[in-house]
Chain A
């Protein structure tokens, strides 16, 4: 059973120096995630949500303990290996979208594929498919500055899913969006999770996101305070 975990963390500790003392961002976190989970980390600011995503996303390494992602020990990875893992298997969605302003929507989504050895046609097919998923195929030639917040975040989602990664890490993806755009994004992500079996892990405060989660992990002071699994709900119905 243990082999079926996509992500396993054991006694995960992350500290940051603060003058003479150490701040514990994560303090002994043990969490496992299976493929296709639609889960989220909730908790107050400073509870360690983003730190957890950064470590699991191989952007950072733990101070102590271990994080195994897709069978790779994050703490043992070189910079190059970590970059390769991110490129192949992990998609990121950021609160501020992080689209590159000089590239078009198409080029922003294509960017991550450029590092994979794909032909131009393969890349084009994948990019257009991803843009169709997020219903932005007609804006392929637009620049980020010409898009609304909701559209920008949908481009960011397309960029995260275009390589069909096993894991998507979304850090406050709806924080800069209004309710309607938040629901659109969440619907898209939930659909993708169901269709592609992608594991989504959110870090969020947003009640709208929390309503969509099938697993809610509450972090407090760098520790797991609660880990709840829900039956699927008709979120839209509730809200409407």
Chain B
């Protein structure tokens, strides 16, 4: 315990120099944890939004359904089999019919996806209740992105043209009954939601669907011939990889912050070893071995991160807790390419905090040790004269 005791005393005795390093290092701690927790929060939020609004507990896809290939949509539907229909009747699933269509906002042709959903469903968090038909016009639900790109507003009528099951083109006006603000662009951009039964009727596709969304936490997922179940993990795979890409970008900042802190420690160590040669010589004269002096100086450097962790905890914990409650408001128009709300709420984990502390401690120890290797070649007589061997 001699060396840690002396190291702490030396460190505290160095006064302002120590505290400057500690403050820089503690800032790195807090910023690294904050940044990483933001990325984690962003990822979790994006996934949760997709689950809440689009994927729920997974989806049964008609065997021909491929969301990435709109040309196959014409044939990608079928009558919902009994076992899935049972779930729909029990409110544990909701069917969706998808078809290609065109609209003509402001006299221009726009190809869209026309989607039918049950207005009464509660499986996904879409405001489908606005699709309850009250009058003559077919109610339609669009997202804010769609509204912005097409110029459509609440109450507008827009002509929709589609091909029915027999291949005949047909067209009707639909009325925008709600413009929803959603973080999930894949239920918004380039699509119009209308009541499922109306869409089935218009397209002569009685009881047919393209996919069926299963409610969250549904345990029993029967295998249904002609329909493929896609688990939430499968459906979230794309977003996972997108978040990973974004997080990798954030790691550059992480490394930069770490390097900044390490540079401060390294400089301090180099300066210490240069300025305190006489002290080293004295310690050797008193009977300290070189390895003990190396241990002492290395520990002094490494202890910066211990002090920094304590200082970071003092001001960092209140800041991070406050931040987790208020979140980070995204600037208007920010698009990360995946579902995000207006605010990102950071998510902290024990692993993240401990991992950061251990990583910074390890890197600080290595950075502290590197300059002290010079001591191993130091002659006590030279050190006492203030010379470096």
Contact = CB atoms under 8 A, between A and B. Distances in A.
A79 B379 CA distance: 10
A94 B384 contact: yes
A59 B9 contact: no
A32 to B, nearest CB: 23
Contacts of A59: 284-285, 380-381, 384
B286 A92 contact: yes
Given A54-B381, A94-B384, A103 B286 contact: no
A100 interface: yes
Interface string B221-235: 000000000000000
A107 B284 contact: no
A196 interface: no
Contact of B289 (A83, A98, A111, A114): A83
Interface residues of B, number: 24
B10 interface: yes
B350 interface: no
Given A98-B278, A100-B282, A115-B2, A80 B289 contact: yes
A96 B13 CA distance: 21
A129 interface: no
Interface string A18-32: 000000000000000
Contact of A83 (B278, B279, B287): B287
B287 A79 contact: no
Given A59-B381, A98-B278, A107-B9, A86 B287 contact: yes
Contacts of A103: 9, 13
Task: Give the residue among A94, A100, A115, A159 with the most B Cβ atoms within 10 A.
Answer: A100
Classify chain A: how many residues form its interface, as a range: 20 to 34
Interface string B296-329: 0000000000000000000000000000000000
A155 to B, nearest CB: 12
A62 interface: no
A46 interface: no
Contact of B285 (A57, A84, A96, A101): A57
Contacts of B169: none
B271 to A, nearest CB: 15
Contacts of B283: 111
B14 A87 contact: no
B381 A115 contact: no
Contact of A98 (B10, B13, B282, B379): B282
A83 B284 contact: yes
B256 interface: no
B290 interface: yes
A84 B278 CA distance: 20
A234 B379 CA distance: 41
Interface in A1-22: none
B16 to A, nearest CB: 13
B288 interface: yes
Interface of B: 2, 6, 9-10, 12-14, 278-279, 281-290, 292, 379-381, 384
Interface of A: 54, 57, 59-60, 79-80, 83-84, 86-88, 92, 94, 96, 98, 100-103, 107, 111-112, 114-115, 159
Given A59-B384, A83-B289, 12 more contacts: A60-B381, A79-B289, A86-B284, A87-B287, A94-B384, A98-B278, A98-B282, A100-B282, A102-B10, A103-B9, A111-B283, A115-B292
11 contacts: A59-B380, A79-B289, A83-B284, A86-B285, A94-B285, A94-B384, A98-B282, A100-B279, A102-B13, A111-B6, A114-B2
